[in-house]
Chain A
Amino acid sequence: MEVLSPYKEATDVILEAGGEPLKLCYQCGLCTGICPWNLVRSFVVRRIMHEAQLGATDFGSEDVWTCVTCRACVQRCPRGVEIIDVMRAMRRAVASLGIGVVPDALRISAKNIAGVGNPLGEAPEKRDDWAKELKVKSFSSGTEILYFPCCIPSYDPDVKTVARSTATIFNKLGINYGLIGTEAKCCGEAIRKAGYEDTFQSLAQNNINLFTSNGVKTVVVSSPHCYHTFKNEYPELGGKFEVIHITQYLASLIEQGKLKLSKKINKKVIYSDPCYLGRHNEVYDEPRRVLQSIPGLELIEFPDAREDALCCGGGGGRIWMDTPKGERFSDIRVEQAVERGADIIALACPYCFLNYRDSVLSMGKAETMQVKDIAELVAEAM
């Protein structure tokens, strides 16, 4: 007879992470049925939960690394099982206890983050280079708002436009904001979900100390991942700031009449809800309100939108892992956008940006379909 688990320590970590709700799982399989992976390949979430309940997790399986933490299953689980926490604990067991193999691509990103504070392995001192020509101030004692663009818009040549558009909007409106400087590091949200708890703790501590010592009260972020961890995970570690996603901020500026959009964008725009803005934090209306304020713009919806939105595939550290063609969620989304007659896919997350950009290019749709962050569209419409 097979011994259920030789890794008692590891299974204990998982049981602890799953807590009481994991014990309540009654194996109905709703999680599997709702999981987006099953649109492209088999991923039996329910079985992973059952293995976790019994302490029979297969740490060598690639299933350990599959979950994109999109929260579709958690949102509807009839027993309230925090499935993402269980997935994270499995990864943690592998990454920290060394009882399985971490995928190469993830290992490199993790090393970069731990080493230079960003997943791209870029030099920390270049973090604010995107802002060079834009006359953005450094955060100092009188500054009201810290703008934290996320590593991807800070370094990725294609995505820098997100940070630049945001700064342009702020400059035009005369907003009292600043950047925190090159000591800032990756927020750590995704690497934590990928199982690197220690790395997360050190990143978080670095950022919390940096923000606190500079007297930061309000942070505006471009990434829903930064938003999520700053808002929901940093407070437990002592970092308490008001966190606002850029779409929320823009929506409030529009509402107060401070931001007026006058230039027409006569396009059909389809908005893709980021998992970490939507399901994780229930922000659905503000991005849509911002888009609807742009004159001429026709906002259309994906067949599955808001609570049911399909993930781009980039959450839970998957952004750093390879997903073979045919299994990319963003490919499905681009196809749906084409079917609905959209000209532009509007985004509010840098990970979505990377995935959609790659899908549009690899599918040969770059001529007809644009991928744009909401901040870019707003900057254009001002």
Chain B
Amino acid sequence: MADVKIGVYICHCGLNIAGVVNVEEVARYAGTLPNVVVSRDYRYMCSDPGQDLIKKDIKELGLNRVVVASCSPRMHEPTFRKACQDAGLNPYLYEHANIREHCSWPHATEKKRATEKAKDLVRAAVRRVYWHEALEVKEVPVNPNVLVVGGGIAGIQAALDIADGGKKVYMVERDPSIGGHMIQLDRTFPTLDCSECILTPKMTDVGHHPNIELMTSSEVEEVSGYIGNFKVKVRKKPRYVDLDKCNSCGDCAKACPVEVPDEFEMNLHMRKAAYLPLPQAVPAAFAIDKRGISSCRIACPAGVNAHGYVALISQGKFKEALELVRRTMPFAGVLGRVCTHPCELDCERGKLDESISIRALKRFVADYELRVGREKATPIERTKEDKVAVIGSGPAGLACAYDLIREGYAITVFEALPQAGGLLSYGIPDYRLPKEVVDNDISYIQELGVEIKTKTPVKNLTEIFNQGYKAIFLGTGAGVSQKMGIPGEETKGVIHSLDFLRMVNSGVEMKLGSRVAVIGGGNAAIDAARAALRLGAKEVAIVYRRSQVEMPAIRTEIEEAEREGIKFHSLAAPAKILSKDGQLSAVECIRMELGEPDASGRRRPVPIKGSEFTMNVDNCVIAIGQAVDKTMLPKELDYTGWGTLEVDPVTLQTNIDSVFAGGDLVSGPADVVAAVAAGKEAAISIDRYLRGISLTEERQITPKKVEKVSTEGVKPKARAAMPLLQISERKGSFAEVEQGFDEKTAIEEAKRCLNCGVCSECFECVKVCEQEAINHEMKEETVEIEVGSAILATGYDQFDPSVITHYGYKKYDNVLTGLEFERITCAGGPTQGQIQLKDGREPESVAIVHCVGSRDKNYHEYCSRVCCMYGLKYAELIKEFTKAEVYEFYIDMRCFGEAYEEFYQHVSEMGVNFIRGKVAKITDQAITEEEKGKLVAVAEDTLLGKIVRVPVDMVILCAALQARSDASEVASRFTIGQRGDKFFLETHPKLAPVNTATDGVFIAGCCEAPRDIPDTVAQASAAASKALSLISKGKVTTEAAVSHVDETICHGCGRCEEICTFHAPTIISKNGGVVSSINEALCKGCGACAVVCPTGAISIRHFNMQEIESLVDGLLEVYHG
């Protein structure tokens, strides 16, 4: 390259450089270097005459390389590149040496060395510029749409500026309304104008602006692309309210039974699950808050909406609650009494203190109907041709019939016995489940149109099909008692439990002896024992072979049995039944001990040799289990090894396609709710079978459980106790033992519900919405939008002062944060603007504590900038509206803005007490009479050098502003930087305050650092103007000094793809292999990929090996001498 002609220019920078570096000497030296055809020095190279020197030389001397040695390239590299370009030289044929920051400034006292170093740097630059190549800058068009993330004042301002400028804005807001923190504020300092009054017009403008597409309840999920051409995925959470239809009448909220703390009111107030996010919400529409399905609902085998009916009961809506139960199954009265209530085991309230008494609440609404009477149910219209037969009228059969009749089928239930209900009627005694309760539930089913044919045993299935039934559900139960197989079991006086209970429940007169033994530990055993006692037996004992804690019976039943005087012989089993004159006389038992666990996981009882003992009894009830009576069932069905019916576990279909089965017949003896669940499941199958659609597809849906249950403000409260019949009144009477709740207890108990899922899906709102705006079926969706730039205005979180335990936040009622106080003074807030304590009194004195979490190494070292001023604002308002004394505890007052100092003076004039000192603690421990019943703020008044203890009624903590808890995720999504305090990092604090590391992504407001409203608005407008300027330009140039892949060497290993923060490289298939491909628009030329590239395929243009090596050689030459 013999024709390389280099010009070198040494800048004096006034005396900045020339005062230390001998610039003439450097210029002279540069002239001696190879290929340098001209070298000059000049006072200010950046000035027009300075630049003209370069341009002139290029033209006249034919220079094709230029080196300027001056200040930092950050300042003037672009200036001189431009000068070269103006003179017709490619700007990449220019090289910059920094002899100010690197020479004259750091070596100000050693002029000679500074001069030598300047020569070195110039020499290196000359060596490097030799290898520079002309590079072409590319241009790409800019998409004129802008994304604004965050709907607080910053986002609103930026969006309006851009939209008013005629460009399209997508505003993405996480909450269901825009407004941000500013709309929570009462008044704004220092002018005290109402925050709502100045913000709501802007909010409405955003809502109605033709150029703004508002996406609320939405979050940015993914960002790809580059400046001018971003692709953004936005996840829109369902609102469950149609924005176009909702007229904000509020009927849904009135109907909604669920109350949860209102976040907008800083949890000082309650709101409904159907709610208007804030009074001036934009969009002006209600929203429904769903956080998942509550645990109780998930736990219920029959899928009853427990949360829903509990919520309705809490609002006194008993009729609606019962309707909701019946939406799923017909047995409110029955299961309200005998359910094993898995819902209560999973109830989240149980983790806090005690679970909600869910079962008793269900019973309450059923009893309420019995008490007030119910209108006959309207029969269901038959919409389907097909008839279905249900055999067996126990809970499984009736649940199945109930669901199918509501699908429009004609249903007939065949029952062999005179009463419908199966074990509900014949198994469970009246003291636990009164007949009229069973009858009420069953008659409801009949009123809907289900035909129940009692005393109609079914001999074979063909006979049923011949009558035109298209499908059959078998729910005939497990109706025979199991035998023990011990000698003497057939002795007179020995009764099996089902026979015994059937007689008891049928009202058959029975003569029992005075001593009765019951063998077994299940519900049937307890029922038999307690029934025996009621029939006049004097001594009743239960013999159970395992330990008492292992008894499968319901715990409360066992406890009541004990209280009624029933004796328990656990770890004992009968070995022989003894008789006298053909009549039972005694049971010989043997003691057991627990051995290794068996198949059920319980430890197997093993007899202890020689431990036999004898119990003298008159009767013995055997209740060790029940089995299926196969003799009653058709031969053609398949059975399991356990003697139960074989069915498909999901569809409950038997080996005959049109026959389904469920309940004890399939599961063996189980509880009522399991039978109901099976009946319901079979109903789904039968409906699908008859409609000819797949029995299995989309059958099992996993419900979305609530992830985080809010227990905000929940005070411990015990579960309501169930009133019981006096023990003395139980003998000889089958009157119901559990008495049920009264209305007041039921409502109180229901109010303990935590409303985990928030919306309970009771659908009361749907009933009342005249606009038909509510749609509970709305689904989450992800939309993709294309924008040219993005403005992040995601705001801040308030610091939680409860971590500073000495300030007693959340411990003392009247210690508040700033935002809480804002809501209290706001006319639309929870106290209608009355400044008052939790008990409603007006405070006599208030302490305002500055720097809570700010300017503190232990929390945030920065100053939150707004606290001094809002602290003064609170003092002003308290002084204006109450007679309270106000104490401002400050460290330094920072009142820097326009009219701020004047406001400070104004507040001082009002007689506010200023104490310079950081509060050490807030305590309720009084040491003087005056302090009693007060909160005491302890601090040193540092101006007096004395400790002060100020008794006050209310403490306001000026809590710091901190970065959003998810700021890091947002930053990484947009590939922008963060400071140590997690706020977003600007490119330059003074000269590029709204730019970020990613071109085309701007920041505004408190997401960058704490700031007040005026600064936020100014910054938002600045960000908007950046976006508009970009759009106005219409195109962006891409950096030419970017990475470049030599595809002949590249192996496509993908390390470049992994290391790149800007997502520039991608591995693509090419010519049968894989290689890295660089998106030059995304590449910043940082060189990370070139460093990790194992083959050396990647190089950075303008920074290739030759250029770097010659630069380094140039620098090292000095050491060679």
Which residues of A are interface residues toward B (Cβ below 8 A)? 26-34, 38, 42, 44, 46-47, 76-80, 303, 307-308
Contacts and interface: CB of A to CB of B under 8 A. Distances in A.
B892 A38 contact: no
A5 to B, nearest CB: 20
Given A28-B851, A28-B918, A33-B918, 9 more contacts: A27-B891, A28-B942, A29-B941, A32-B942, A34-B921, A44-B946, A78-B856, A307-B805, A308-B805
A32 B858 contact: no
B857 A79 contact: yes
A76 B939 CA distance: 13
Nearest to B937: A33
A30 B804 CA distance: 13
Contact of B857 (A38, A42, A44, A77): A77
Contacts of B925: 303
B114 to A, nearest CB: 31
Contact of A28 (B806, B917, B938, B946): B917
Given A46-B940, A303-B925, A29 B857 contact: no
15 contacts: A26-B855, A28-B918, A28-B942, A29-B917, A30-B917, A30-B940, A32-B917, A33-B917, A33-B919, A34-B920, A76-B920, A77-B857, A78-B857, A303-B925, A308-B806
A221 B918 CA distance: 38
B663 to A, nearest CB: 50
Nearest to B927: A39
A227 to B, nearest CB: 24
B858 A29 contact: no
A303 B926 CA distance: 13
A212 B942 CA distance: 49
B947 interface: yes
A47 B917 CA distance: 12
Interface of B is mostly: loop
Contact of A38 (B805, B851, B947): B947
Contact of B858 (A34, A78, A303): A78
Contacts of B858: 76, 78
Interface in B873-920: 891-892, 916-920
Contacts, number: 67
Contacts of A307: 805
A78 B849 CA distance: 15
Given A33-B940, A44-B940, A28 B891 contact: yes
A29 B806 contact: no
B101 to A, nearest CB: 27
A76 B852 CA distance: 12
Nearest to B890: A28
A77 B856 CA distance: 8
Interface string B849-864: 0010001111000000
B582 interface: no
A44 B945 contact: yes
Interface in B424-469: none
Interface string B939-976: 11110011100000000000000000000000000000
Among A31, A44, A78: residue with most chain B CB under 10 A: A78
A376 to B, nearest CB: 31
A248 B185 CA distance: 51
Nearest to B860: A78
A33 B891 contact: no
A308 B920 CA distance: 12
A93 to B, nearest CB: 23
A365 to B, nearest CB: 21
B892 A26 contact: yes
Nearest to A34: B920
B918 A78 contact: yes
Given A26-B891, A46-B942, A33 B856 contact: no
B373 to A, nearest CB: 57
Contact of B855 (A31, A42, A78, A308): A78
A80 B861 CA distance: 11
A303 B811 CA distance: 14
A44 to B, nearest CB: 5
A33 B857 contact: no
A34 B938 CA distance: 8
Contacts of A31: 940
Given A46-B940, A80-B857, A30 B920 contact: yes
Contacts of B945: 44, 46-47
Which 8 pairs from chain A and chain B are nearest by CB?
A33-B920, A29-B940, A32-B940, A28-B918, A78-B856, A29-B942, A29-B917, A30-B918
Contacts of B939: 29-30, 33
B849 to A, nearest CB: 12
B687 to A, nearest CB: 59
A44 B946 CA distance: 7
Contacts of A32: 917, 920, 940, 942, 947
Contact of A42 (B851, B916, B917, B947): B947
A30 B858 CA distance: 13
A44 B919 CA distance: 15
Interface in B832-875: 851, 855-858
Among B856, B892, B918, B939: residue with most chain A CB under 10 A: B918
B960 to A, nearest CB: 12
Contacts of B918: 28-30, 33, 78
Interface in B171-200: none
Contacts of A29: 916-918, 939-942
A66 to B, nearest CB: 15
Nearest to A43: B947
Contacts of B947: 32-33, 38, 42
Contacts of B917: 28-30, 32-33
Contacts of A78: 851, 855-858, 918
A302 to B, nearest CB: 12
A42 B921 contact: no
Given A28-B918, A33-B920, A34-B920, A42 B946 contact: yes
A25 to B, nearest CB: 11
B889 to A, nearest CB: 10
Nearest to B855: A78
Contacts of B920: 30, 32-34, 76
Nearest to A29: B940
A27 B940 CA distance: 10
A47 B947 CA distance: 12
B391 to A, nearest CB: 61
Among B805, B919, B920, B939: residue with most chain A CB under 10 A: B920
Among A28, A31, A44: residue with most chain B CB under 10 A: A28
A26 B918 CA distance: 10
A30 B855 CA distance: 13
Nearest to B915: A29
B860 to A, nearest CB: 10
A78 B852 CA distance: 10
B619 to A, nearest CB: 47
Nearest to A73: B920
Contacts of B857: 77-80
A316 B669 CA distance: 74
A146 to B, nearest CB: 37
Contact of A33 (B851, B916, B921): B921
A27 B944 CA distance: 12
Contacts of A303: 925
Contacts of A77: 857
A44 B892 CA distance: 19
B947 to A, nearest CB: 5
Nearest to B946: A42
Among B806, B916, B940: residue with most chain A CB under 10 A: B940
A27 B855 CA distance: 12
A243 B597 CA distance: 47
Contacts of B940: 29-33, 38, 44, 46
A78 B313 CA distance: 51
A76 B938 CA distance: 15
A35 B920 CA distance: 9
Contacts of A46: 940, 942, 945
A28 B921 CA distance: 13
